[in-house]
Amino acid sequence: KMKKILFVDDEKNILDGLRRTLRDMRNEWEVFFVDSGSAALELMKQHEIDAIVSDMRMPEMDGSQLLAEVMTVSPFTARFILSGQSDKEVILKTIGPVHQYFSKPSDMAMIKATINSAIELRARLRDKTLTGMIARIESLPSIPQIYVDIVNELRRDEPDIGRITSLIECDMGFSTKVLQIVNSSFFGIPNHISNIRQAVSYLGLDVIKSLVFYLKIFHAFDSHIIPAAFLDNLMQHSLCTAKYVRHIIEKEKYSEGILDNSFTAACFHDVGKLIFYSWMPEKYRQVCEVIATEHCSEIEAERTVIGVTHSEVGAYLLCLWGLRDEIVEAILFHHQPSECNRNNFRELAMLHVTDFFYYKLHPDKKEMPGGEPLDEEFIRKCGLTDRLPVWFEALEVKK
């Protein structure tokens, strides 16, 4: 099936340039070009658009307003800004309706790859209502106490950025959004940032304050919907797995890039569970009941009740938000790594092994579903079989 991509820009020469650049995609994409937001919305009444890429500054309706409308009329459509706009305040206001921001001039190969990745991951979810729900997510809920602590620290006359960073590292809601924003092309960072401390340092206190106080991007989760014990266990598991990842990678002397990607993937690998519990709590409670009564695996229960797994849902959201492919793929395949057909196995292997080790080292952790079998064939292909007992022993000591 051809992917339908819509480009919106009020400058004719920009649209002409895009037409020339995208000729090589004609076998994969059906591409539409319009010169205004109103024309874009009219066209979307006639076609199911997979992804829209809009300029920011346009007369009548700017890119942010357009994508906010698209978010309502076609929620499953992936939403991108491609603009030369450089006003930080204006750009920050696009954070809600915009999945990713590309600055002009931009690497068209990167834009093509980004759009294709998002659409291909969405295809795994199949259910349009579900994909629309995920694509409408502007931020993930935060742990109430962490949210309160960050707000209180930011209100001080001289906030401690080190303390704020440490708090953000312990919260999926804050940390995922910070990485989405810092890796926006608008900030012009030459290399992708996967390290939370670097991300917070780069954004600075003013941007963090804007996100919290003026744009109100963040919110605490509703304890009536998500049991506090569930969230505590989720964060404890994620952070402990990330700690195990760091210990093994430092022991093996892998590169800093692999460490950052693997650590971040470990922090976010169960973000899909948070999405399930936040946006479809009744169904996720059914998942937990099926696991308890039928003694099936977590993955089987999720597929039976919801139709998709937490790995697929989490990976799709983080792909839309622009996290690195290595992080997204590690999350997507962390329970079934043999399904991954790429040759870059390090991040995936680290996450798969440490997630398995966590439940071996914490057999008492039954409050939250988890604990899938080790994919021994995948480990053998990676040449890591002999390292497993060494790593397990080292982590047992650390425990």
Residue 362 belongs to what H/E stretch?
Answer: none
pLDDT at 86 (0 to 100) = 61
Question: Contact, 6 vs 34, CB < 8 A?
Answer: yes
CA 208, CA 121: separation in Å to the nearest integer?
30
Instruction: Describe the strand order of the beta sheet including 29-34 as a list of residue ranges.
Output: 29-34, 3-8, 51-54, 78-83, 100-103
| CA atoms of 202 and 16, how far apart (whole Å) | 36
Query: Model confidence over 300-352: pLDDT tens digits?
Result: 999 999 999 999 999 999 999 999 999 999 999 999 999 998 766 799 999 99
5-17 tens-digit pLDDT = 999 999 999 999 9
* DSSP label at residue 52: E
Q: Are strands 100-103 and 29-34 parallel, antiparallel or unpaired?
A: unpaired
- For range 157-164, the mean pLDDT: 94
Kindly indicate the confidence band of residue 190, based on its pLDDT and cuts at 50, 70 and 90: low
Predicted pLDDT at 373: 86
Residue 368 pLDDT > 60: no
Q: Does the pLDDT of residue 91 top 80, yes or no?
A: no
Residue 358 has a CB neighbour count (10 Å cut-off) of 22
pLDDT tens digits for range 112-134: 999 999 999 999 998 889 999 99
**Alpha-carbon span 313 to 122, nearest angstrom:** 9
Percent of the chain with pLDDT over 90: 66
Closest CA to 114 of 261, 320, 316, 312: 320
Residues 6+ apart with CB under 8 A from 295: none
pLDDT of residue 90: 67
Type of residue found at 12: K
| pLDDT value at residue 106 | 74
